[in-house]
Structure 1
Amino acid sequence: MAVKSSGCFGPGVQSSEDMNPAVRELVKQLSLGKAVATDGEGDTGGPIDHIARVYEVARNALEYRAEHLVRRAAIERILKRQLVFESDTRRLSESLLLELKWAKYVTWESSRPAVVEEIKKIFDKYFVQLKSPAVDREWLVGLISAEIEEYLNPSKDYYKFTNFAFHCLKKALVSQGLANFDLILYTAIDKIYSQSDNQQLAYHLFRLISNQSGKSDHKVTDQILAETYNHTRQAINSPQLNRVAVAVRKLVGPLVLVRDIYFSGPEEFAQIINDEKMFKERAGQVLAGQLALLRGRMSTAGMRSLIYVFLTKMLFALILEIPVDRWIRGEVAWGTLAVNTLFPVGLMWSLTANIKLPDTRNQERLVLKAWEVVSRDDLSWVGGEQVHLLGETLNLKTKIFYTVYMVLGMAVFAGITVTLVRSGFSLVSSVIFLFFVTVVSFFAYRIRQTAKIYTVKSGRGLGSSLGDMLMLPIVTVGSWLSRGVAKLNFLVFVFDFVLEAPFKMILRVMDNWFDFLSRKKDEVVG
């Protein structure tokens, strides 16, 4: 697209008609800083709030979850418990908001009647289906929690960028032999670009299906819910999802930067995207700020991963290792115990400490591509041509590669095991060591992937290829173990099904008591 240099537009300034149509449509939907809902001023709270917050911090340490997903998960957890005892939607709404305020997930201003009424409407919308045996109740509660979270989120514009990204990537990616490509592509974008979890994905699909069916998402039918459930399961269980997600992750950087620019100054966004010089200056500033924040986020993610692994897996494994060593050897091998305790910490640090963020040249390329996304209705931002996604064919070459990969994986684990045994590790200690190494490596790999979100294209040298060749089997096993063992989280069971209900009842009694004392004090003072 040509940039206007004469007429009513100055140098580097373009008409909105010349803009990427997807951006024009996005601008129409955005609030642009007008009437954006806020969550009110913070409140220091009383003793109940502090006790509840400490409990939530301890509970959240038992699950590895991105920070922006913590409140949604808390809403789901609270709803699962409250729905057992409560059927009145107004009392359910009030109780939910009260617990969220205790834990400082929302401010005290969010208790105003209008908020209670809106959340009540959400419950009313789904209440018939919640009682239906034909509906997966756990899945539906997750969907409801995602809708409530989105309502409580002061940033109403965030998920409007998902459709924008889908439009851009749908033109850039071509499917060959991939069934249900649009569904899988939308899922990959929602999970990578919008960083949604499965519950939020289900709600977003529900909203899309409701709109496409001509019915408002305020009207829930069994048919729409069943269709949403089937589409959600089909998408997240698709063997092609990871393949599409890889392609999305490689291309999504410029789209992330466009979104970051908007949230750096929503009221200026419409003006910025019409001026190349202004856009690139703002993009450079925003990108520098995001990269500075990214380093801190990676350190925090690494620490939270270690705490999660220690509390939910390492602690019980080490408790198991001590009596087994006494039974087999007659004594505790403190050396191997120390290695199994300290090595995962060192491994996480070594894998995350040397993560390279995009250099100056890469940043300049990203800014240019972000401008091309905004200003041109073509594929210049992805190199000028579409990216073809091929369905995997199990030909002779692929079979050979899979065989080599399997042999390599067995060789890597065999080599580690032999080294451990020769170093004095028992079989149990070796298994525990391998378990820690694989799980920690998987979490470290996920953190490293986060650092690549602003990378236009990462080079691959010989050292990188050799490292990937050795680490890939370890990361693959770690991924499988982290998903499987997460279902056997004993401490989560203790917190959710043993401690939380009586704990919250005690907090409610204390809260009522303090309210009573406060009223009496006001009456005495007059």
Structure 2
Amino acid sequence: MIISPGVRKLIAEYELWRGRAQVRQEEEVISVDEIVARVALFYEKLREIVDWRAEHLLRKTAIERILKRRLAIHKVSEDFAENFLAELVRGGHFPNKKISFAQVDEIQTVIEKYIFIAEHSRNRQKNGGRNSADWILSIAAVEIEEALSVPRRERALIELMTEDLEKNINLVARKRDLERPLAEGEKRLQIYVAVQKTLFKLDNFSIAYHILEKFYPDWETPSQETLAYVAENLDTLRENVEKIISHPYSERFYQLAEKYDTPYLILHDILSDDTDRFEQFVNDPPSLEGAIRHAYDKRHARLRRRIGRAAFYSILSIFITKILIALAIEVPVDRYLQSELNYVAIGLSVVVPAIVLFGLVATVRTSTQRNFERVMMEVVKIIQVRGSQEPHNIFPPRKRAGLGASTVYVFYLLSFIISFGALIWVLQKLEFSPFSMVIFLMFMSLVLFAGTKIRQQARELMVETTKEGFLYNVFDIFSLPMIQVGRWLSGQIGRYNVLVLVLNFLIEAPFQIFVEFLEQWRSFLREKKDEIH
């Protein structure tokens, strides 16, 4: 089998990754006290429950949170990056004694770059400047993470899949379409965005950072002119980047990329495990099939564990939030309005959402033998001929109009009324108070949204199209309105999460001051012991 030039280029990048430079023994590194680190790590684990994120976003989220908190409290001094990185190491986000002071200097430069943009955008923009400044600091967290843990393999794989899809996608224009056809540059950019979303589940800030790198090739070490221009036009830049990410075509490209990402992930796993023997596998079909099977089974097992963790943390987060709301708001309000508590209602509002979420997760299919065979065939195609040769036509999105559109919207409105109306009727029979009904409906909507997202994640290895059963399709029709409400609520909670704000500034800030003092105190004690001869 002849390996394609694109895959050979990918192999070279993986070999560079395997031979990446390690920190030299004589190089000074950030070192934190192990005992103090355990205390900080315990807090971070608790924090993950309250402010739960997808596993691959945990570190970036922590970098962003800690960076913004420190910037709100401290000025950017010469040792800002050192203290900032020490906190990340204490929290278990990076290994101890692995970050060199050369990297500290690099991160200091990165932080100063983004601070310059944020501060100058605030000075020059009256409307929206603060939001754009906050946005650029979120992107700073992405660059910091990638500077400390360079995603060489991931970036190379993204480029390979983007090139493969670009060759096989045809944009078909029709006279009745409302959207204009995409130019070739826009097409590649949309494929690039879709591949990042599907292949490694990157969030919008990570994608925005990579788009900025495309816009400004010198983004890592920009000139003063580039920095000044970006700062002055930050609102416009942000708007342009967000338009690219949420383009009308984006969903079409995403659906196609999602269908073909699994073979690339399997290729990624094979190369990561054994780059040196890859050509041997390619020239021996049974060995290649065994390597694909091994990588597929490992990824499938990880997927099952990840889905289980996602369900557990979702249930735990919802349970804790529900208890806090019940104690702080629901119980006092019910006592004031009705002079008594409905303990059955409170219990059901905790148990029922958890059961629904468990049912949604437990019934999803994550793999089949036929799916594996299809994946194996697609992996061979990628190695041999740079991806699937099947052409894919993408049509511009159209807006619904006329009688058909009106009928669809009327039916959707009816399903909305039926789903919420039926639940309200049941809750009335169970003697829920009006306020408890509102809380229950909110939590059910959030649970259905979380469960739907987890089910979508559980299908990440599926290449073939699978049909859901009749009962699930009926459930899907009448649960969709609640899922949409849950999606909206999730966005609002993420934006105005009071509990997270309290944790950041009333609990986390003093706690980190205590942790830093504790580390300095233990360091002082060690020095005094060393002085004893």
TM range (shorter): 0.7 to 0.9
- Tell me what 1:335 maps to: 344
Equivalent residue for 2:19, pick from 35, 38, 61: 35
- Tell me what 1:151 maps to: 147
Q: Measured at CA, do residues 147 and 43 of structure 1 come closer, stay the same or move farther in structure 2, by a change above 3 Å?
A: same
Give the residue type in structure 2 aligned to 1:496: N
Q: Measured at CA, do residues 129 and 399 of structure 1 come closer, stay the same or move farther in structure 2, by a change above 3 Å?
A: same
- Tell me what 1:308 maps to: 317
Superposed, 1:90-239 pairs within 5 Å as: 90-132=78-120, 133=122, 134=124, 136-153=132-149, 155-176=151-172, 177=179, 180-211=186-217, 215=218, 217-219=220-222, 221-222=226-227, 223=229, 226=234, 229-239=238-248
Superposed, 1:310-329 pairs within 5 Å as: 310-312=319-321, 315-317=324-326, 319-329=328-338
- Tell me what 1:75 maps to: 63
**Alignment check: 8 A CA contact 1:202 1:232 kept:** yes
Which ranges in structure 1 are unaligned for 5 or more consecutive residues? 1-13
Superposed, 1:248-327 pairs within 5 Å as: 248-269=257-278, 271-273=280-282, 276-312=285-321, 315-317=324-326, 319-327=328-336
- Tell me what 1:10 maps to: none
Deviations 1:193-216 (A, max 9, x none): 1221222112111212222xxx35
Distance 1:266 1:444 in 2: 37
Deviations 1:222-263 (A, max 9, x none): 445747523322134445434432332223222222222222
- Tell me what 1:61 maps to: 49
Distance 2:266 2:247 in 1: 29
Determine if the alignment matches structure 1 residue 474 to structure 2 residue 470.
no
- Tell me what 1:458 maps to: 465
Give the residue type in structure 1 aligned to 2:424: T
**Alignment check: 8 A CA contact 1:336 1:425 kept:** yes
Determine if the alignment matches structure 1 residue 361 to structure 2 residue 370.
yes
**Alignment check: 8 A CA contact 2:139 2:208 kept:** yes
- Tell me what 1:7 maps to: none
Q: Measured at CA, do residues 523 and 154 of structure 1 come closer, stay the same or move farther in structure 2, by a change above 3 Å?
A: farther
- Tell me what 1:15 maps to: 2
- Tell me what 1:421 maps to: 428
Deviations 1:147-184 (A, max 9, x none): 11112226532232122222222234334446544433
**Alignment check: 8 A CA contact 1:441 1:474 kept:** yes
Partner secondary structure for residue 110 of structure 1: coil
Partner secondary structure for residue 195 of structure 1: coil
Deviations 1:90-134 (A, max 9, x none): 411111111012112122223432221222232344343232124
Partner secondary structure for residue 174 of structure 1: strand
Distance 1:171 1:266 in 2: 26
Distance 1:142 1:37 in 2: 28
Identity of aligned residues (%): 26
Give the residue type in structure 2 aligned to 1:484: Q
Instruction: For residue 45 of structure 1, report the CA deviation from its aligned partner.
Output: 4.8
Partner secondary structure for residue 141 of structure 1: helix
Distance 2:17 2:241 in 1: 33
Partner secondary structure for residue 343 of structure 1: helix
Instruction: For residue 284 of structure 1, report the CA deviation from its aligned partner.
Output: 0.9
**Alignment check: 8 A CA contact 2:322 2:350 kept:** no
**Alignment check: 8 A CA contact 2:169 2:393 kept:** yes
Instruction: For residue 296 of structure 1, report the CA deviation from its aligned partner.
Output: 1.3
Instruction: For residue 44 of structure 1, report the CA deviation from its aligned partner.
Output: 9.8
Deviations 1:478-505 (A, max 9, x none): 1111111222322111111222222222
**Alignment check: 8 A CA contact 1:130 1:140 kept:** yes
Give the residue type in structure 2 aligned to 1:254: P
Distance 1:324 1:127 in 2: 45
Distance 2:356 2:146 in 1: 37
Distance 1:46 1:216 in 2: 36
Distance 1:104 1:364 in 2: 39
Instruction: For residue 312 of structure 1, report the CA deviation from its aligned partner.
Output: 3.8
Q: Measured at CA, do residues 151 and 333 of structure 1 come closer, stay the same or move farther in structure 2, by a change above 3 Å?
A: same
Distance 2:360 2:313 in 1: 15
Equivalent residue for 2:417, pick from 375, 397, 410: 410
Deviations 1:329-375 (A, max 9, x none): 32101111110011111111111112222111211111111211221
Q: Which moved more, 1:275-284 or 1:179-188?
A: 179-188
Distance 1:216 1:335 in 2: 58
Distance 1:378 1:93 in 2: 43
**Alignment check: 8 A CA contact 1:48 1:510 kept:** yes
**Alignment check: 8 A CA contact 2:158 2:196 kept:** yes
Partner secondary structure for residue 358 of structure 1: coil
Distance 2:279 2:154 in 1: 16
Distance 2:24 2:49 in 1: 27
Give the residue type in structure 1 aligned to 2:250: L
Instruction: For residue 273 of structure 1, report the CA deviation from its aligned partner.
Output: 4.7
Partner secondary structure for residue 30 of structure 1: helix
- TM score, norm. by length of structure 1: 0.88
- Tell me what 1:494 maps to: 502
**Alignment check: 8 A CA contact 2:36 2:519 kept:** yes
Distance 2:447 2:24 in 1: 39
**Alignment check: 8 A CA contact 2:418 2:478 kept:** no
Distance 1:157 1:515 in 2: 39
Q: Which moved more, 1:138-147 or 1:176-185?
A: 176-185
Q: Measured at CA, do residues 447 and 509 of structure 1 come closer, stay the same or move farther in structure 2, by a change above 3 Å?
A: same
**Alignment check: 8 A CA contact 2:262 2:375 kept:** yes
Q: Measured at CA, do residues 395 and 88 of structure 1 come closer, stay the same or move farther in structure 2, by a change above 3 Å?
A: closer
Q: Measured at CA, do residues 144 and 480 of structure 1 come closer, stay the same or move farther in structure 2, by a change above 3 Å?
A: same
Partner secondary structure for residue 355 of structure 1: coil
**Alignment check: 8 A CA contact 1:36 1:156 kept:** no
Distance 1:320 1:84 in 2: 30
Superposed, 1:431-450 pairs within 5 Å as: 431-450=438-457
**Alignment check: 8 A CA contact 1:314 1:436 kept:** no
- Tell me what 1:400 maps to: 407
- Tell me what 1:6 maps to: none
